[in-house]
Structure 1
Amino acid sequence: MTLYTIVPEDIIFPHHHERTANLIEMIYNGVHVMVEHDGGRSFRIDRIMSTDPADFMNANIHPGAVINVFEQINGQ
């Protein structure tokens, strides 16, 4: 959907900025994703930002999947 308007985005989509304020862009296992921190030691994938179609076929990386990046960093 394309909107051609002079009305500010926050008036048209009032809750959009609140929702995206909690999102973080990161690279997980070589895939560019946007995640939301759950407050603990893990993140939930909100969307895949990659342009590679093969990344969307990865069964471990999909919207809603919970990932633990701390284990990834520590090599465990």
Structure 2
Amino acid sequence: MTLYTIVPEEIIFPHHHEKTANLIEMIYNGVHVMVEHDGGRTFRIDRIVSTDPEDYMNVHIQPGAVINVFEHMNH
């Protein structure tokens, strides 16, 4: 769907904007992902942002997976 309008996206899709406002982009294990901070030291993967089909087959980075990015920073 293509919308040709001067109306900001936040007004047309208000719920979408609220959800994405809490997301953080990061590279995790070499894959670009969008995550949401769960609190403490963990994040929950919301979506994979990649053009490589292999990234979507990786069971460790599926949407909903909880990851500890600080664990990988110390190695």
Structure ranking higher in helix proportion: 2
What TM-score does the superposition give when structure 2 sets the normalisation length? 0.87
Give the root-mean-square deviation of aligned CA atoms.
1.3
Local SS of the residue matching 1:15 = helix
**Alpha-carbon separation, structure 2, partners of 1:22 and 1:10:** 14
Structure 2 residue runs without a partner (length 5+):
none
* Equivalent position of 2:63 in the other structure: 63
Local SS of the residue matching 1:38 = strand
Aligned residue-pair number: 75
**Alpha-carbon separation, structure 1, partners of 2:29 and 2:50:** 12
The structural deviation recorded for 1:10 is: 1.7
Letter in 1 for 2:43: F
The structural deviation recorded for 1:39 is: 1.6
The share of aligned pairs that are identical, in percent, is 84
**Alpha-carbon separation, structure 1, partners of 2:18 and 2:73:** 29
Structure ranking higher in strand proportion: 2
Structure 1 residue runs without a partner (length 5+):
none
What TM-score does the superposition give when structure 1 sets the normalisation length? 0.86
**Alpha-carbon separation, structure 2, partners of 1:35 and 1:65:** 10
The structural deviation recorded for 1:12 is: 1.3
* Equivalent position of 1:7 in the other structure: 7
